[in-house]
């Protein structure tokens, strides 16, 4: 079978499986759980993860020896697109599947792989990301959370605070970047720990967001225990592991995200035709530009994800986060202008609510995963060879 035929067969298999399974009790999950809707139906979406696992559709890009299908990039993209087209809900397991799993496969011990990968694969264990702190966001090297060695057990006792921790209240485990060497600064002296959330030294406090939901949290540690065997890499070498994990963050799932962007744009066009705003030249132009931006995003992502040897592709890849996040934030503004005065009214019209959430949540798109200013700095320094900006004392 040629590659193209293989991808077509995979698309058919995935579409058929999703049509048969995303139904009945799972039907309410269609198109739910995306941006700004992250705490919709959490328990049912966890069940959905187990349903997906029964069809071997969790972690399809993982190597077969770790339980995945070993799908190529093109095949994973095809699956993500079919998932989006079928209205597959936002994945509760995406941090485990997309970040923790690949990091453990690359850097974990055999014991860590055998204990943690099956829970991610089977949809029975959920993870969250404990990097940001009140004074360590863009400047992640400023981490203050401390990990102290307990000489009696070899375990690490963790004290400090994380913030903006998405889905911590629905997770079983958190991966934490903490400072393990007294007096160290910046990237040195950090440790990458896997910590069980359900233990006495961990407290989670929800943060209410502008859209009404509370999908992220503050997480406080007071001598929370990370077992000796749950250090990834070596103590002191946490920065390297943390950065490798971030490298996995900008992967295939971005193509799936684009399917939901396309649905949002379709909805805006539908409403613009209904309420007559589609006749206004300024709105028509913005809609046309939004469509062009989405197509450009798709081709850029495909090119960056492919193994194209062109050196420039790496540089273009640096612009991707900036491109999609600003495009999406502008789409939120366009949605409000198409809705007009109705945008201000809270009602149970699902179309209006979806666009209001789009507007409110997309304000965060240019912050998480690297703010606009940081993305432009990275592009200027790494992509265009401009001088490094002066760094603070923590670097
Ligand atoms: C929806 C959402 C979900 C999140 N989920 C998680 C999560 O699950 N886990 C987690 O660990 N974190 C999470 N975060 C946190 C996110 O990673 C941080 O918000 C982000 O790194 C920015 O850090 P900060 O908020 O501390 O802002 P700061 O770093 O304090 O930045 C404030 C402003 O200063 C600007 N700035 C900072 N440094 C520079 C510079 N050198 N040059 C120019 N301008 C600069 C920034 O661009 C920004 O405009 C989430 C955030 C959001 C919004």
Model confidence over 336-355: pLDDT tens digits? Answer: 999 999 999 988 888 998 89
Q: Is 75 assigned a catalytic role?
A: no
Q: Is 278 within the bounds of a domain?
A: yes
**205, 237, 269: which is the final residue of a domain?**
237
**Distance (Å, whole) CA 349 – CA 329:** 22
Domain residues for 313?
Answer: 250-383
Rounded distance from Cα 374 to ligand 1 centre (Å):
9
Question: Angle of helix 253-275 relative to helix 350-361, nearest 10 degrees?
Answer: 130
Q: How confident is the model at residue 173 (pLDDT cuts 50, 70, 90)?
A: very high
171 and 269 assigned to the same domain: no
Contact in structure between 358 and 264 (CB atoms under 8 Å): yes
Q: Is 169 within the bounds of a domain?
A: yes
pLDDT at 105: 96
Sign of the Cα torsion 128, 132, 138, 142 reads negative
Mean per-residue pLDDT of the chain: 92
Task: Tell which wins on pLDDT, 313 or 8.
Answer: 8
Q: Which residues pair with 160 in a beta bridge?
A: 221
Task: Give the residue among 167, 201, 349 at the shortest CA–CA distance from 271.
Answer: 349
Mutate to test the pocket of ligand 1, among 95, 100, 132, 171 (most ligand atoms within 8 A of CB): 132
pLDDT at 57: 98
**Distance (Å, whole) CA 189 – CA 235:** 7
Above pLDDT 70, what percent of the chain? 96
10 and 64 assigned to the same domain: yes
79 and 160 assigned to the same domain: no
Contact in structure between 180 and 171 (CB atoms under 8 Å): no
**Cβ-based burial of 179 (10 A; exposed 0-12, middle 13-18, buried ≥19):** buried
Mutate to test the pocket of ligand 1, among 34, 39, 160, 164 (most ligand atoms within 8 A of CB): 164
Domain count for the chain, please give it.
Answer: 3
pLDDT at 379: 92
259 and 213 assigned to the same domain: no
Contact in structure between 343 and 357 (CB atoms under 8 Å): no
| Statement: residue 55 has pLDDT above 90 | yes
């Amino acid at each position: 079978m040629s590659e193209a035929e293989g991808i077509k067969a995979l698309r058919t298999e995935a579409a058929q499986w999703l049509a048969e399974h995303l139904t009945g009790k799972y039907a309410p999950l269609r198109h739910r759980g995306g941006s700004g809707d992250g705490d919709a139906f959490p328990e049912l979406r966890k069940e959905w993860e187990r349903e997906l696992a029964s069809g071997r559709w969790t972690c399809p890009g993982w190597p077969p020896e770790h339980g995945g299908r070993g799908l190529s990039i093109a095949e994973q993209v095809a699956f993500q697109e079919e998932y989006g087209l079928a209205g597959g809900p936002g994945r509760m397991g995406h941090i485990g599947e997309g970040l923790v799993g690949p990091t453990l496969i690359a850097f974990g011990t055999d014991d860590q792989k055998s204990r943690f990968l099956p829970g991610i694969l089977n949809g029975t264990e959920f993870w969250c990301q404990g990097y940001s702190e009140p004074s360590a966001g863009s400047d992640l090297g400023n981490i203050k959370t401390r990990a102290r060695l307990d000489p009696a057990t070899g375990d690490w006792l963790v004290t400090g605070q994380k913030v903006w921790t998405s889905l911590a209240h629905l997770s079983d485990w958190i991966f934490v970047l903490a400072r393990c060497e007294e007096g160290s600064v910046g990237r040195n002296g950090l440790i990458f720990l896997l910590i069980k959330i359900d233990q006495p030294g961990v407290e989670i406090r929800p943060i209410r967001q502008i859209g009404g939901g509370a999908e992220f949290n503050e997480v406080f540690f007071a001598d929370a225990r990370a077992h000796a065997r749950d250090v990834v890499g070596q103590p002191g070498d946490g920065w390297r592991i943390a950065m490798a994990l971030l490298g996995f963050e900008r992967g295939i799932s971005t193509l799936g995200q684009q399917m939901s962007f396309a649905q949002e744009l379709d909805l805006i066009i539908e409403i613009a035709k209904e309420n007559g705003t589609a006749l206004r030249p300024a709105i028509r132009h913005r809609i046309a530009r939004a469509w062009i931006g989405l197509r450009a995003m798709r081709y850029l992502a495909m090119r960056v994800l492919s193994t194209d040897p062109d050196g420039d592709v790496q540089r273009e890849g640096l612009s991707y986060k900036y491109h999609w996040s600003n495009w999406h934030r502008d789409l939120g503004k366009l949605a409000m202008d198409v809705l007009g005065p109705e945008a201000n009214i809270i009602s149970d019209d699902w179309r209006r609510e979806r666009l209001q959430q789009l507007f409110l949540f997309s304000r965060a798109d240019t912050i998480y995963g690297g703010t606009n200013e940081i993305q432009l700095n990275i592009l200027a320094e790494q992509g265009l060879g401009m001088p490094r900006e002066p760094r603070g004392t923590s670097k």
